[in-house]
Amino acid sequence: MSDYLVRATAADAAIRAFAVSTLDTVEEARARHNLSPVASAALGRLLTAGVMMGGMLKNEDDLVTLRIDGDGPIGSIVVTADSRGEVKGFAANPSVMLPPSPVGKLDVGGSIGNGVLTVIKDMGLKEPYSGQVVLQTGEIAEDLTYYFATSEQVPSSVGLGVLMNRQDATVKRAGGFIIQLMPFASDEVLSKLEENIKSLKPVTTMLDSGLTPEEVLGEVLKGFDIEITDTMPVGFKCNCSKDRLTKALISLGRKEIKSIIDDGKPITMNCHFCNTDYTFEIDELKDIYKKIK
């Protein structure tokens, strides 16, 4: 089954809910970037959150970028998602290796360390919206919960999970949910939801037992009338192209391109988001040079 996002409401729209399966998305990121297990978990969780937050955007061309800058060995992690279910991302140090956390889990918090989470929403306005919070645990779900509460003033519950296969270090399961409480929610709805979340199994446990996004929502929102609004396929997708990188080369200016041509060697440019290399031969560089005024 390919990855998909479910959007839902509950309690007469006092709750809005998102759940997603991201196994193929995170496995593609792992393979493209040669991610270590802990880097797969870290980037995978952020990709899972990103694709759900993309699903919250209103307009087709809106973009959301999640950026974590910590002092841990993984360095920065960046994810960009759109409203159509497409998400891409990278970790600065994809090969980071760490011993397991004290409870035997992949040490995502340790790989990220202390730092900040920045959320940038580009909605076609002059200035993109940007909110920043200090990392709470570096485990990402808690950090996003804190972000929603403080930056957007929306009480939320975020669950993110990535499980790896021990034998070959590929991704076994990935997915997550975001539950948000609207301002008009009654105390009764709030306390029932709190009760549910307190007794909820860990996301990885739910994913490991093969629960679909709909079934995950069924667990988180047990006892509520859930209305599924829609479902949408999601996946890892980068919009880079040779054309885009040609534009980047043009922006370097005549002098720079001339000096590359004079060096006499083709150059390779890499897209950080999807780790694709684009090589420009001397003849191509000469064509680009001609195009610059």
Binding flag, residue 240, Zn ion (CB under 5 A): yes
Among positions 31-50, residues that touch Zn ion (CB under 5 A) are none
Binding flag, residue 87, Zn ion (CB under 5 A): no
Binding flag, residue 10, Zn ion (CB under 5 A): no
Q: Any bridge partners for residue 18, and if so which? A: 7, 178
Beta strands in 104-167 (DSSP E): 115-122, 129-134, 156-164
The Cα 215–Cα 235 span in angstroms is 20
- Rounded to a whole number of angstroms, the minimum distance from the CB of residue 276 to Zn ion is 5
The closest alpha carbon to 74, from 108, 120, 105, belongs to 108
Of 77-85, 100-108, 129-137, 233-241, which segment contacts Zn ion by CB under 5 A?
233-241
Nearer to Zn ion, 135 or 238 (CB): 238
Report how many residues bind Zn ion under the rule CB under 5 A: 5
- Rounded to a whole number of angstroms, the minimum distance from the CB of residue 210 to Zn ion is 32
Tokens of 259: 């000096």
- Rounded to a whole number of angstroms, the minimum distance from the CB of residue 122 to Zn ion is 17
Contact residue for Zn ion among 41, 81, 98, 274 (CB under 5 A): 274
- Rounded to a whole number of angstroms, the minimum distance from the CB of residue 90 to Zn ion is 9
Binding flag, residue 90, Zn ion (CB under 5 A): no
- Rounded to a whole number of angstroms, the minimum distance from the CB of residue 76 to Zn ion is 17
Binding flag, residue 108, Zn ion (CB under 5 A): no
Binding flag, residue 51, Zn ion (CB under 5 A): no
Alpha carbon of 40 to those of 14, 51, 145: distances in Å? 34, 16, 21
Tokens of 34: 């040669």
The Cα 102–Cα 86 span in angstroms is 35
Residue with tokens 């192209």: 241
Binding flag, residue 79, Zn ion (CB under 5 A): no
The closest alpha carbon to 176, from 19, 39, 292, belongs to 19
DSSP class of residue 23 equals H
- Rounded to a whole number of angstroms, the minimum distance from the CB of residue 91 to Zn ion is 15
The Cα 217–Cα 55 span in angstroms is 16
Strand arrangement of the beta sheet that strand 171-181 belongs to: 156-164, 171-181, 15-21, 4-10, 226-233
Main-chain phi, psi angles of 135, to 5 degrees: -60, 135
Q: Any bridge partners for residue 159, and if so which? A: 177
Binding flag, residue 269, Zn ion (CB under 5 A): no
Nearer to Zn ion, 35 or 206 (CB): 35
Of 16-24, 104-112, 228-236, 274-282, which segment contacts Zn ion by CB under 5 A?
274-282
Contact residue for Zn ion among 91, 140, 203, 238 (CB under 5 A): 238
- For the residues of 41-65, what is the DSSP string, one character each? HHHHHHHHHHHHHHTT-SSTT-EEE
Nearer to Zn ion, 14 or 274 (CB): 274
- Rounded to a whole number of angstroms, the minimum distance from the CB of residue 236 to Zn ion is 10
Nearer to Zn ion, 231 or 276 (CB): 276
The closest alpha carbon to 119, from 207, 178, 174, 206, belongs to 178
Nearer to Zn ion, 150 or 239 (CB): 239
Per this entry, what is the length of the chain? 293
Binding flag, residue 228, Zn ion (CB under 5 A): no
Binding flag, residue 207, Zn ion (CB under 5 A): no
Q: Which parts of this chain interact with Zn ion (CB under 5 A)?
A: 238, 240, 271, 273-274
